[in-house]
Structure 1
Amino acid sequence: MFIVELLINACIAFTGFYIISKIIHSTQFSSSTMKSIIIGLATGLLGVLLMFKGIQVNESLRMDLRHLPLVLLAFYGIRFPLVIATGVIGSSRFLFGVTPQAFVAFIAILAISTGMIYIHRKLLNRPFLQNIALNVWALLMITIAVLINLGFNETAILLLLSTWTIGLAVGVLSSMLTLDFQILNQQVQLYKKSAELDHLTGLYNRRVWDDRTAGLEQEGRIYNVLALDIDHFKHVNDTYGHGNGDLVLQQFANILKQETRPHDITARIGGEEFMILVYDLSPQKVVKVANRIRERIATERFQLDGFPAIEVTTSIGIAHGKHVHIQQMNVLADEALYAAKQQGRNRTILFDQADQQDIAATQSSTETIHS
């Protein structure tokens, strides 16, 4: 019977760990606060379930693994859910009666969580050792609580021997499960990231650009599509080699990252062609942003391997509109970029869909040309 109960409790713990870990790594929640509350409550309920289920040591003694869910949250370093789970697990002890023993158990749970926060911070870069330390700390606090409640006698020693043996065994297995799940999730995220990002520049690739911009016309927001490429880039490749051309592309992309907002979408479409999606800016403001990027690039010294640093310029075409299909906006931005090339390069041309006009912004002035 003891072995059966042990296996049942271990299965409950492992299943709960898996579900909670999935919630922790989920990206489906729109609110981080709501996600934290759900994680905290789910972890607390898992601890309560483990407490009520328990393992019968002998006819008069039962032990439980209520501390294990707290180890999971401490390992991930998520404090708000840990506070919630601690409150749920600690308070549930009073369901057996408001007694001095219940208060001791409640304080022990608080001590376990508080110490775990410190252990997580100190052993952040040593995950397996951290997990072992978290389990040992929890068992030490449980030991103190048992000795306070039962005193130092044969019953307490038997309970503690069972608690340490089973707690460490299940705790180590749970730790290994948590580590494996974390490694698996990191690999999934790495594969996802590598599939989304251009390998050379670290910007989004064409596939992500298409995915992120699909359905923009249905959002009802003003948005701008910027099409950029590097002027005379073929000359850079032919003169300095494709390796140095790659260096120029990387430095160019870094400037785009620095000069755009975190919520703007910047992508390398192919070769020396780049696209930027900018929300909620008027034609005048988006031209100002584009010219800031263009001027920054024109004044930058691009480092090469085996050659002196060079200067490059960029031409930018912009499509500004609302309720316009993204494919049409891409075409308009490309046409504006082509116009910028035709008018001498190193300049910005904006096509305003609402006014049906091109606004040509050169290095020194801005003029309006009706289409």
Structure 2
Amino acid sequence: MFIVELLVNACIAFTGFYIISKIIHSTHFKSYVVKSIIVGLLTGALGVLLMFKGIAVNDSLRMDLRHIPLVLLAFYGSRFPLIIATLIIACSRFLFGVTEQAAVAFVAVLCISIGMLAIHRRLLNRPFLQNISMNVWALMMITVAVLINLGWNETALSLLLSTWTIGLTVGVLSSLLTLDFQLLNRQVDIYKKSAELDHLTGLYNRRVWDDRTAGLEQEGRIYNILALDIDHFKHVNDTYGHGNGDLVLQQFANILKEETRPHDITARIGGEEFMILIYDLAPQKATKVANRIRQRIASQRFQIDGFPAIDVTTSIGIAHGKNIHIQRMSALADESLYTAKQQGRNRTILFDNESDRHVAATANRETVRS
């Protein structure tokens, strides 16, 4: 009888596992706190449901697998949700009566969670052993609680045998389930990044650029589009080979990553052409950012294979505006870039929407090292 009821508990636990794991791995939550609260509340509710569907040994003692949802959170290292769920599950035990057995169960749940956090830290790099150890720890605490409440007798031994049998089985299966979820989500992340990032530079690709910039004119925010390309890049490819051209592109992209903010969108559009979206900067400040990038590139020696390091420069066109369609802004940035090329390269040109003309933001005539 004990086995059947614990198997029902296990089925409920696995269903809850699936739902909670999906939420834990979801990327649709903008707030970590909100997501943590939801996960904690759902896990606590699952523990309470397991209690209600558990075994009523007597009027005040219940047996179930309420510890299993806590193992899930501890395995993921979700401390805040674990605290919420632990308090809900521990306190809900008193719904079945304020008794000594309930108090023992309350303390046991607290000990289970505290011990699992310690196990998580100690076995962080050994996930399967970590999960099994958490389950064994929880079952040990349950054993202590049962023996305190029932004493050493046939009923207690039969109950513990069923609990350990089902508990360990569920523990192993839950370990495999959570590891499978982690592996699956890791693969999804890899495929997502592969689809979003340019394979050579690690910047966003053209598809992501189009997705991220669609509807910019409807946001009502000031934004700047920077169009960049590498001056005389065909000469680099023709002189040093396409492999070295790729090395130059990678080093160029690394500079763009370092000189832009995390929330700026930097993309390789194709070949040696790059675009950067910068929000909420006045034209003067956007120009300052562009010049910082340009000067950094002009001052750096680019390492290539089989030849001495070479110098590279970039020309930059900027379009500044608000409530302007991205296609129009991109065209203006490209026109500014073309003007920079015509005026001698290694310079920044800003399109001024107010005067409807191109303004030479810089006319760099620095001596480039040979």
- Is TM more than 0.5 here? yes
Question: Is residue 333 of structure 2 the alignment partner of residue 341 of structure 1?
Answer: no
Compute the displacement of 1:188 (Å).
Answer: 1.1
Query: What residue identity is the alignment partner of 1:227?
Result: A
Quickly say closer, same or farther: Cα 1:335–1:284, change in 2 above 3 A.
Answer: same
Within 5 A, what are the aligned runs for 1:277-292?
277-292=277-292
**Aligned twin of 1:152:** 152
Q: Is the 8 A contact 2:70 2:113 kept in 1?
A: yes
Matching of residue 51 in structure 1 with residue 48 in structure 2: no
Structure 2 residue 104 is matched with structure 1 residue 104: yes
Aligned to 2:322: 322
Deviation at 1:308, TM superposition (A): 1.1
Give me the identity figure in percent.
81
1:3 CA drift (Å): 5.3
Distance, in Å, in 2 between the alignment partners of 1:357 and 1:114 is: 66
Once the two structures are superposed, what CA deviation does each residue of 1:13-57 show, in whole Å capped at 9, x if it has no partner? 111001001111111122221111100000000111111111478
| 2:64 corresponding residue in structure 1 | 64
8 Å contact from structure 1 (residues 9, 50) kept in 2: yes
What is the alpha-carbon distance in structure 1 between the residues aligned to residue 56 and residue 107 of structure 2? Answer: 24
TM-score normalised according to structure 1 size: 0.94
Q: Amino acid of the residue matched to residue 128 of structure 2?
A: F
Question: Unmatched 5+ residue regions in structure 2?
Answer: 366-370
When normalised by structure 2's length, the TM-score is 0.95
Contact 1:196 1:204 in 2 (8 A): yes
Q: Which piece of structure 1 moves more, 30-39 or 262-271?
A: 30-39
Answer yes or no: is the 8 Å Cα contact 2:249–2:272 preserved in 1: yes
Q: Aligned in 2, Cα 1:360/1:300: closer, same or farther, shift over 3 Å?
A: same
Matches for 1:1-371 after TM superposition, within 5 Å: 4-55=4-55, 63-363=63-363
Q: Which residue of 2 aligns with 1:368?
A: none
- Any conservation in 2 of the 1:2–1:57 contact (CA below 8 Å)? no
- After superposition, what is the alpha-carbon deviation per residue over 1:233-254, rounded to whole angstroms, capped at 9, x for unaligned? 1111111111111111111101
More displaced 10-residue stretch of structure 1: 113-122 or 349-358: 349-358
Distance 1:344 1:133, change over 3 A: same
In the TM superposition, residue 350 of structure 1 has moved relative to its aligned partner by 0.8
Residues 230 and 313 of structure 1 are in contact (CA less than 8 Å); yes or no, is this contact kept in structure 2? yes
Q: Report the secondary structure of 2:350's partner residue.
A: strand
Off by >4 Å, runs of 4+ in structure 1:
1-4, 55-62
Structure 1 unmatched ranges of 5 or more: 366-371
Report the Cα offset of residue 63 of structure 1.
Answer: 2.5
SS at match of 2:277: strand
Could you give the per-residue CA deviations for residues 146-203 of structure 1, whole angstroms, max 9, x where no partner exists? Answer: 2222223333222222211110011111111111111111111111110000001110
| 335-344 or 348-357: bigger deviation | 348-357
Question: In structure 2, do the counterparts of structure 1 residues 107 and 355 end up closer, same or farther at CA, with 3 Å as the change threshold?
Answer: farther
SS of the equivalent of 1:315 reads strand
Residue identity opposite 1:299 in structure 2:
S
Partner of 1:369: none
Amino acid in structure 1 at the alignment position of 2:173? L
The count of residues paired between Structure 1 and Structure 2 equals 365
Letter in 1 for 2:126: R
